[in-house]
Structure 1
């Protein structure tokens, strides 16, 4: 029989949150089990969403209580991405990745849009000044 889950460790450098849990989780290592394929009893394998079972750290008030939380793989990936950003906004991470794409740079050059112009737009500080529109 094939193994339906994968066990690994997720490491968070800072406290974090995940949807479905109203508490801030502490930084540290978390054991996670990821479902690799839809369960055999799943009627519609197309509608199946990958999820992860996280083993949470015990609370100080209940040191012997083992807790787990099931979160979507997308929510865990988002929490890990935020943790790796070292305080930068997720949009900054996206923007820098986009500006590193050679195809995006060619389109920007053809449209007369500079990296500075896009950084200004993503900064949320308002409408860019006309001279910011030059290609860098």
Structure 2
């Protein structure tokens, strides 16, 4: 079954926490990968998210030797982004 990865950037204005990760992560821009698979049998193209990953640390660190790709829950990410926007307002 064909699959694809879509990429986005999550911007946090303040330190934040994500379920499944220890401790607080610093504010900054984080690359996010969403792995998706094609839903077959549809009359049009449709994709289902099967995994979400965050690239750690934040881009501001600029140390490729310490970066890692960590699986996260998409809903935890969305909740953290909403909380960050609410606190910034």
Report which structure shows greater RCO (CA 8 Å, sep ≥6): 2
State the 1:81 CA deviation.
0.8
More helix as a share of residues: 1
| Structure index of larger Rg | 1
> Are the counterparts in 2 of residues 49 and 72 from structure 1 also a CA contact under 8 Å?
no
Normalised by the length of structure 1, the TM-score is 0.47
1:1-136 → structure 2 map (5 Å cutoff): 4-37=4-37, 50-57=50-57, 64-86=65-87
Q: How many equivalent pairs are there?
A: 75
Q: Tell me the distance in 2 between the aligned counterparts of 1:84 and 1:11.
A: 10
Stretches of structure 2 that go unaligned for 5 or more consecutive residues are 39-47
Higher strand share: 2
Unaligned runs of 5+ in 1: 39-47, 89-136
* Distance change in 2, residues 1:51/1:72 (3 Å): farther
- Alpha-carbon separation, structure 1, partners of 2:23 and 2:14: 14
RMSD: 2.6
